[in-house]
Amino acid sequence: MIIKRIHLSGIRSWEKGDISFTDNFTAIVGPKGAGKSSILAAFDFALFGEYAATSYQGLLRDGFNEGQVTLEVDEKGKNISITRGLTRSGGSITQDSRNLKIAVNGTLYSRDKARQLSEDVEAHLGIDKTLVENTILTRQEELKNILNMQPTPRKKTVDTLLQLDAFETAWQELGNINSERTGYVKSLKEQTQKYDLEKLSKDYGDAVEELGKAEKNRKETNKVYEKRKRELDELDEELTRLEKQKKDYDGVKAKIDEEEKNKSNSETLKKEREKRISSEKEEKHSNKQDLQELQGEFEILWADASNQGYEGKREVDSLRNWLNELDIKFGDTDGQVKADDRSLKDLVEKEKELAEAEDCPYCGQPLSTHKAEEFRKERQERIDSLNESINENKKLLKELKDRKESVDKVLEKIRDTVKAISDKNDAIKKLDEKEKELSKELQAVEEKLSDIERRLKELHEKLPPYDEDLHSRKRERRKSLADEVGQLATQLATLDERIENLDERVERLSNDLEEGKNAHEKYGRQRDILSNLKVMRNAYRDILPDLRNAYLRTIETYVQNTYNEIAPISHFIIKIDESYTPKLKLDGHWREYRDLSGGERTDVSLAYRIGLGNSIYEARTGLPLELLILDEPTESLGNEDKSIERLARMLSRLKVRQVIAITHDQTFARFADNTIGIRKIGNKSELILS
């Protein structure tokens, strides 16, 4: 795996950064706190979605709600781009499920979960975090970690990285399996003793034969059943047709009955209307006769009125007005009579006075006998005239009173007769209207009867054919056939139950026979497996020393070759013992690692770390180690003894395709093939290329 490019956005001190890498030795250089380790954190996050801190709080830049890392690598000629994002929600920071992507040779795959992307990384690159931490990446102060371990922890650690511990684990697990299998095979042997295969075979054959007979009987019974069932179905179809005919017939017949009922009701209604019309006519005729009699009486009454002197219109109001005039005339005459009576009394009184008077009442002169006689005669004439007038007026009053009383009676009778005539006319009018109404009702009834007759005719023509006797016979046949089908179904159910029981018996015997055979076969097979397991377990124990020796020789070769590359003027011969401890020989003398000088220890520890890493990486992936990343490798070195320069020169001579070292030491960086400068302005990191 070769790193081609890292792009950061919103990561720690980086607002945005785009860093490209080439082959050979590259130094990322800058002062402490400039943001160099942020690049390493971004590399780790892109591959595995992890961060060294307990949360992503320290990885996402303060004030940013989103961050992103894109790592582009070359793996065996494949261009692979990995993108992961961070998002801030409330007080928590998580990986952004919208920004989980991997592109292989330009083909982009988006993932919903971070775990899926990690699985893609492992599938395409063949690495996991443990492998990277112990082969590709060397953090501060970790260069000599394995060498500084005691032999036993060192052996356990390297065995785990080489996955040799899996052989020991497999040997132990096979021992456990062997113990379990021994008991299992013993229990299988006991199970085989439960099955008498010869008896099971005979019982199975008898049950199969009995099942065949039962199935044959069922087949014959079912044949009869199916035939009768078909007949029943056909009969049901015919009955359905007859039921439909009956339904249609009953429907039309019900309509006919309903119409006949309507016809009867209408005929009854017609007779009732005719009877009522006849009754109304008779009553109207009687009223007309009464009206004629009233009109005759009316004529007589008006004649009476005429006889009393009435000559006006033959109207009640006119007659009443004339009667009022009689009243007035009667009043006037009565007033005149009373006035004449008063005048007569006055004359009589004056006559008495004048008879005794000696002087003229008019002039006051003495009356002569002759003059007095003339006055008396004149007064007497006036008295006689008044008496005559009074008598005539009284006679007239009597006539007027009699006429008035007579006319009053006539008027009353005329009013009564007029009212009676009006009532009769109203009655006759009402009878006419009622007769017309009844005639209309009669006409409507007759029209309804005509419609009913027409509909009855149509319904009789539509009345479908229906044979009730045939229908009854078919019902009886259906009942008989249904009983027979039911009996056959019961027989089939009984046979089915017997067949089911026999099937269960055959299946049970077959299963027992099969289980018996399987038990014997399984016992033989597991017995052979147990024997093979014992051989395999012994082989695991035998192969492990040889495999470890092979790894030891490979590690020894890689460490020696790496040492020769980085320290060409040194003449150490390096051997690796079973605890992966290096032994060094110079000029025929063996020396321990702890006895070496500081510079010599740096040479050996670097060669050991790279050689061991190359061996582990190749053992795990089948590929040589092409990438080496060192984080502050000069942290414990000084410039006084030129150990920093010595380490830089060694790395420049190292035959690894890509070496990336993160350092704050400018002396160290001068020996790199490529230099990437980092600086920090304020709280923001930026790139300086040189």
Q: Which residues of 65-84 are buried (b: 16+ CB within 10 A; e: fewer)?
A: ebbbbbbbbbbeeeebbbbb
- What is the number of other CB atoms lying within 10 angstroms of the CB of residue 672? 21
If DSSP codes are grouped into helix, strand and coil, which group holds residue 18?
strand
The pLDDT tens digits for 634-654 are: 776 666 667 778 778 888 887
The pLDDT tens digits for 60-74 are: 998 899 999 999 999
DSSP 52: S
Find the mean pLDDT for residues 570-577.
Answer: 84
The pLDDT tens digits for 180-229 are: 777 777 777 777 777 777 888 888 888 888 889 988 998 999 999 999 89
Nearest to 42 by CA among 16, 78, 74: 16
Distance CA 260, CA 262 (A): 5
What the block records as the tokens of 423 is 């009532």
Cα→Cα distances 449→24, 262, 459, Å: 120, 8, 15
Residue type, 226: E
Answer whether 367's CB lies under 8 Å from 353's CB: no
* Element housing 477 (H / E): helix 468-566
Percent residues over pLDDT 70 in the chain: 92
Answer whether 10's CB lies under 8 Å from 64's CB: yes
The pLDDT tens digits for 157-179 are: 888 887 777 777 777 777 777 77
Q: Which residues of 6-41 are buried (b: 16+ CB within 10 A; e: fewer)?
A: bbbbbbbbbbebebebeeebbbbbbeeebbbbbbbb
**Quick one: pLDDT band at residue 568, thresholds 50, 70, 90?**
low
Task: Give pLDDT, residue 6.
Answer: 96
Residue found by looking up tokens 């042997």 in the block: 189
Q: Which residues of 108-118 are buried (b: 16+ CB within 10 A; e: fewer)?
A: eeebeebeebb
If DSSP codes are grouped into helix, strand and coil, which group holds residue 351?
helix
Query: Largest Cα–Cα distance in the chain?
Result: 231
Nearest to 612 by CA among 550, 679, 562: 562
**H helical segments located in 126-164:** 129-131, 145-148, 151-162
Task: Give pLDDT, residue 668.
Answer: 85
Q: Cα dihedral sign for 333, 334, 338, 339?
A: negative
For 634, residues 6+ apart whose C-beta sits below 8 A from its C-beta are 644, 647, 663, 665, 668
The pLDDT mean for the chain works out to 84
The pLDDT tens digits for 274-289 are: 898 898 889 888 988 9
If DSSP codes are grouped into helix, strand and coil, which group holds residue 624?
coil
Task: Give pLDDT, residue 516.
Answer: 80
Distance CA 414, CA 464 (A): 74
Nearest to 619 by CA among 669, 675, 555, 683: 555
If DSSP codes are grouped into helix, strand and coil, which group holds residue 95?
strand
Distance CA 567, CA 584 (A): 14
The pLDDT tens digits for 456-484 are: 898 888 888 888 899 899 899 889 989 98
What the block records as the tokens of 278 is 């006849």
What the block records as the tokens of 64 is 């940013």
Mutual angle of helices 598-621 and 468-566, in 10-degree steps: 150
Give the 3-state secondary structure of 424-457. Answer: HHHHHHHHHHHHHHHHHHHHHHHHHHHHHHHHHH
Task: Give pLDDT, residue 200.
Answer: 80
What the block records as the tokens of 528 is 């052979």
Residue type, 43: F
Reply yes or no on whether the pLDDT at 139 is more than 80: no
Nearest to 439 by CA among 654, 278, 648: 278
Residue 23: what are its φ and ψ, rounded to 5°?
-70, 180
**Parallel, antiparallel, or unpaired: how do β-strands 78-89 and 101-104 relate?**
antiparallel
The pLDDT tens digits for 480-534 are: 989 988 998 999 899 899 899 988 888 888 888 888 888 777 777 777 776 776 7
The pLDDT tens digits for 314-340 are: 777 787 788 787 788 778 877 877 887
Most confident region among 58-67, 138-147, 298-307, 541-550 by mean pLDDT: 58-67
Predicted model pTM? 0.49
Nearest to 39 by CA among 686, 609, 690, 689: 686
Task: Give pLDDT, residue 636.
Answer: 64
- What is the number of other CB atoms lying within 10 angstroms of the CB of residue 491? 16
